[in-house]
Each structure stands twice: as C-alpha cells, then as structure tokens.
Structure 1
C-alpha cells in the first residue's frame, strides 16, 4: 500500500502534525522565547467565548444539549437538519472512525494532502493509494479529498468528487479550511460525507470539536461508534455560541484574507514562490528552503517543512504585531 503525504517534525505513528513546539525546542534549543508557532493552520485570532456556565463542567452533557449543538451546526453548515450532523471531539476522530465503518475497499486519496487520511484508511486494512488528480481514481470504491487542500489550497467540488466515485462507494470531502474561503461549502447528500473543523476556523483547537455531515443512516452509525458523551459540555457551549455568530465569521474571513495577502507580500519580497494556500496559511518554495527554515527556527519562529520537498515551507498567520515584525525581520 502506498503512503505519502504532508510530513514534518512531531510525527506520531509515522504521521506528522504542526504545533509541536517541543520538537521545535529540541531542534533549536538556543531560540528565544516566546516561540511564534506558524506551523499550524489555526486562526490566530480566536473567537471571544462568553463566560462558561459552571454546569457545563459539573454535569454530563444531556441529549438536549447535543441536539441543540447539532441544530446550530446544521444551520451554520447548510445541512438539511440535525439528523444529518454528527458531532465529535475534533475531526481527527472522524477521520479515524469512518474507515472502521465500511467493508475493506480500494481507496484513492487526492494528494499530497493531510497524511492522516491515508494513514487512517491503511490502519483499518483498506487498500490505499495516493493519486494526483480525480482523473486517476479509476477503480477506487472510496475517494477522499481535502478542499481547500492542505498544503496547496487546491479546490475539489463535491459534485466532481461524487462523479469520480461513479456511484460505486463513498466520497469523503474534508472541508476543514472552507469556512473563511470565498468558495461554496458542500452539503451532505447520498454517497457523500463532508467533514468540518470547528477549531481551525474559530481558533479554539484545544476544545476538540468537529462535525461530519452525512445521510442520517451514516450519522447514526458514526454516533454509535463514538459512544455517549463524545462531545464535552464546554465544547457544546462554545460551539453553540460561535456557530450562531454569522457576523463574527464574516468579519474573521475578511480579516484573515487580508492577513494572508500581507503574508504573500512578505514571502515574495523574501524571494519565495507561492504555491497556494488558504486564508489561514500559505505554502511557498524558496531556493534556500532548508537554510531559511533554520534561520526562522533560530529566531524562535516555527514553520512547517516537508522532507519530500525540502525547498517548500508552509507559514501560518502571525497572531499579533510583534509576531508580524519578527517574521518580517527574518524574511528580509
């Protein structure tokens, strides 16, 4: 089985993830504190959560609490109703769960992309191959795509993904980065599962909240696999508040797009060539990619690098003026 994807420091089970500042400190023990972590695609300006009621911590979430969250999520994500929404403690657990719910199959993952997709299907015994385009998925019963893609921002529509499956099986569309993008988000329909990330958009990744949008029968199977009380009371409260706030999401989308354009200008001035990205990150190539990674690291700035493409670096958005200035000084 072929496996390749987005790899860097902080590997677990052979798959790398951003945000591992322990790995950064091991690589650059003399770097100044505080670190600026640009290795993730998480909104650096988090949603301003209202005060949390003590009951959210003192008691188990009730079925009514979960039902309210699913209704709010259905409205925010364009699902026909709450029965089309499965709530989970982050999209990662959904990526792990889906492969366990279907018989062994031939799986095509459009890549290179977030490596956990291929890894999860492989761990569950499926025959997995990474392909470069939808035109190469012939013979696959399950097709997986991330759109907008990590790390290059490539967009795949739900319709194109469903056509690629040819009605043979399941299309999985991971839209973790779609909320702040000027592209149409997908709604659940037969043969399609859409994954949505809460933590990336709202800058609250530590809450662990994500959603699968699917036909009700599959939603029930996902929920049964996750078990009772899969989503915590604080995550339910935060999700209900943030997902109901359309104005904040529109304002955040505009602001992060402006930040991404500012980052583009800095990358170009530094001699980089932008490959793509989203409102929350940019991926670029540099002739001196490995050297630049080390210069940034020595300055306490951690970005993503890709061992398969040593000239390639991915930059998240700095969180504040001081971080922008420090990044600008190194890139100059």
Structure 2
C-alpha cells in the first residue's frame, strides 16, 4: 500500500514521542469535526439497507441529480478502474501530477496505461487519452480547474467513450468550483467525500455522482452493505446541517488564511485551499524531521510538503515557534 498522511503511529515509533504529545498536521482533515450525537440503537444492530434519506440529503447538499453512497471516495477510486476493465481494458489514463497518489496507483493495478501530466499541460492531453483524472481542488497543491473547462474536457472524452473523473474530496470549501450538479452527462464522474470538510474521515462515507447506468454498474460491483448504518445516520445529519456548514466554511477560510500568512512570513511560498497548504521544498525530509523532532507531524512528498490546520491556539503557537527555530537555524 502507498503511504498517506494520518499515519501517526509511524511517527510515534520512529521518533519515540508519545502519541498524545503530537500535533498531527499530516492530513487536510478539518480538525473541528461535525459533532456526532448519540445514534439509534438499530444503527449498530441491523444490516444497513439502502437509505433514500441519505441519498436525498446528499443530492440536496451537492446539487447532484443522481448519486450512490460508497465507503469513502477511496472505494470508488479502487472500483472505477476495475469497472472500466470490463469493457475497455488497457485504457490510456492521464492523471494530473502531482496528485493524490491512489488514483494512478489503482489504475495501474487494474492494468491500464497511466501517464502523469502536469496541471498546465492537461488541456493538451485530453485528445490523447481515454480517461483523465483531476482533483479539484488538487491534493496536495490546491490548484483548480474552472468548471467550464472540465465540462469541455468531459465532452471531448465522452465523444469516444472516455471518462473524466473529478475528485472533489476538498470541494466543500470551494463549492463554486464543483461540477457535481452537471454530472448526469455521459463521461463525467464526480467523487465527493464526507471525511475532509466535515472532519469525519473515520466514518468512511463518500458519494459518486454520474449517469445512472454507470452508477448501477459500480454499485453492483461494490456489492451489498458498502456503507454502514452509523455512517448513513451521521451522514444525513451532517449533510442537512446548513448552519454548521456555513459557520464552518467561514472558520476554515479564516484559519486557512492564517496558515498561509504564517508560512509565507517564514519564507515558504505556500499555496493550497482552506484545509491545507503546500509548497515545493528542496529538501522536504530535512524540514519534516525538524518538525517531527518537536512533535509536529506533516505530510512530506518527494516534491514538497503539506500542512493541515492546527486544532487549537496552543498548537498554532507551537507551530510558529518551531518554524521560527527552523528559520533561525538556516540563517
């Protein structure tokens, strides 16, 4: 399996710092999760049935014409390449680079020919592929593609039986960039996640928005009971709580701007979205080790680093102090 953020036990083992002493900034998950109330007893007791209540709440929230629920968008990321193999094995797949690594990994595992293309070159690559995968906003860089452009690419791909997969896992903080409301057209598939914005990554709940025939085929492949009863019940509450959503977007915007300003103040050319900041770092391991030695766990890549939001003021202050120490060492 690939390495991902959130692997805090690896930090505990490597650096010998107790788990409760860490500040985990290695994911882009909202540190202030949706408050989960007590659940109905049968949410735990009964096998989960298909919930039209959940699907209705999701359609309203995403503005989507039709969708299915899945056990986190990761389930769809793994399932779609297998589904494609049934009628178009060895498809030519373009994945934006850098991007969430599971996309390229799963398409390769399913036997497709995968090519990584920089965001700036995606438009030129549409004509030479069968499937294109774009994260919008992109994880980890925060880059975005305008909805009109995505719809144009989807139409180009659909003309020869292709797919455009738009992963909107972080789309809740920029709803104006979403194409979920237009994903009933052939060839356009949108992935959504309840884990990031709602801070409920452990729930394992996501949605796939697409035309009905593709949704039916994917649901058949994923099989029964793909989303637990507790996840369904909590998902309905979160997706319908408009007051919490509005307040949270405003709070995340302020926190995202604060993190961006802090990092740029220390000379890091950060960019991203309201849930994380990323920058290309010449030696990411050195910076990551410095932070880890002080109990701050971040996501490092070969090409840079990504930091999520601190949860509390004391975490903000510690991050600032540790970054200041880093800067002093380098001067």
Q: Kindly indicate whether residue 211 of structure 2 is the aligned counterpart of residue 222 of structure 1.
A: no
Match of 1:25 in 2: 12
Contact 2:48 2:228 in 1 (8 A): yes
Match of 2:322 in 1: 330
Deviations 1:26-45 (A, max 9, x none): 33224784211100011111
**Residues in 2 aligned to 1:248 and 1:76: alpha-carbon distance in whole angstroms:** 13
**Residues in 1 aligned to 2:18 and 2:296: alpha-carbon distance in whole angstroms:** 8
Q: Secondary structure at the match of 2:79?
A: helix
Contact 2:77 2:106 in 1 (8 A): yes
Match of 1:313 in 2: 305
Match of 2:81 in 1: 99
- Judged with a 3 Å threshold, the aligned counterparts in structure 2 of structure 1 residues 160 and 110 are, in CA distance, closer, same or farther, namely farther
**Residues in 1 aligned to 2:63 and 2:77: alpha-carbon distance in whole angstroms:** 21
Q: Given the alignment, which residue of 65, 70, 86 partners 2:55?
A: 70
Contact 2:29 2:275 in 1 (8 A): yes
Q: Secondary structure at the match of 1:26?
A: helix
Deviation at 1:126, TM superposition (A): 0.8
Match of 2:108 in 1: 122
Q: Kindly indicate whether residue 38 of structure 2 is the aligned counterpart of residue 51 of structure 1.
A: yes
Q: Kindly indicate whether residue 230 of structure 2 is the aligned counterpart of residue 241 of structure 1.
A: no
Name the TM-score, length of structure 2 as normaliser: 0.89
Match of 2:190 in 1: 194
Deviations 1:54-103 (A, max 9, x none): 1100111233xx111111111111112xxx21101111010000011122
Deviation at 1:201, TM superposition (A): 1.2
Match of 2:328 in 1: none
Contact 1:33 1:300 in 2 (8 A): no
Deviation at 1:182, TM superposition (A): 5.5
Q: Kindly indicate whether residue 146 of structure 2 is the aligned counterpart of residue 161 of structure 1.
A: no
Contact 1:31 1:299 in 2 (8 A): no
Q: Given the alignment, which residue of 68, 73, 79 partners 1:86?
A: 68
Deviation at 1:196, TM superposition (A): 0.2
Match of 2:327 in 1: none
**Residues in 2 aligned to 1:147 and 1:120: alpha-carbon distance in whole angstroms:** 19
Contact 1:271 1:286 in 2 (8 A): no
Contact 2:79 2:218 in 1 (8 A): yes
Match of 1:180 in 2: 173
| Runs (5+) with no aligned partner, structure 2 | 325-331
Contact 2:158 2:186 in 1 (8 A): no
Match of 1:4 in 2: none
Deviation at 1:25, TM superposition (A): 2.0
Deviation at 1:159, TM superposition (A): 1.4
Contact 1:195 1:210 in 2 (8 A): yes
Contact 2:195 2:203 in 1 (8 A): yes
**Residues in 2 aligned to 1:282 and 1:21: alpha-carbon distance in whole angstroms:** 19
- Judged with a 3 Å threshold, the aligned counterparts in structure 2 of structure 1 residues 94 and 32 are, in CA distance, closer, same or farther, namely closer
Summarize the alignment of residues 279-294 of structure 1 with structure 2, pairs less than 5 Å apart.
279-286=274-281, 289-294=284-289
Contact 1:42 1:199 in 2 (8 A): yes
Aligned-residue Cα RMSD (Å) equals: 1.6
Match of 2:27 in 1: 40
Alignment: residue pair count: 310
Match of 1:145 in 2: 134
Which has a greater percent of helix? 2
Name the TM-score, length of structure 1 as normaliser: 0.89
**Residues in 2 aligned to 1:235 and 1:136: alpha-carbon distance in whole angstroms:** 38
**Residues in 1 aligned to 2:155 and 2:45: alpha-carbon distance in whole angstroms:** 48
Contact 1:273 1:286 in 2 (8 A): no
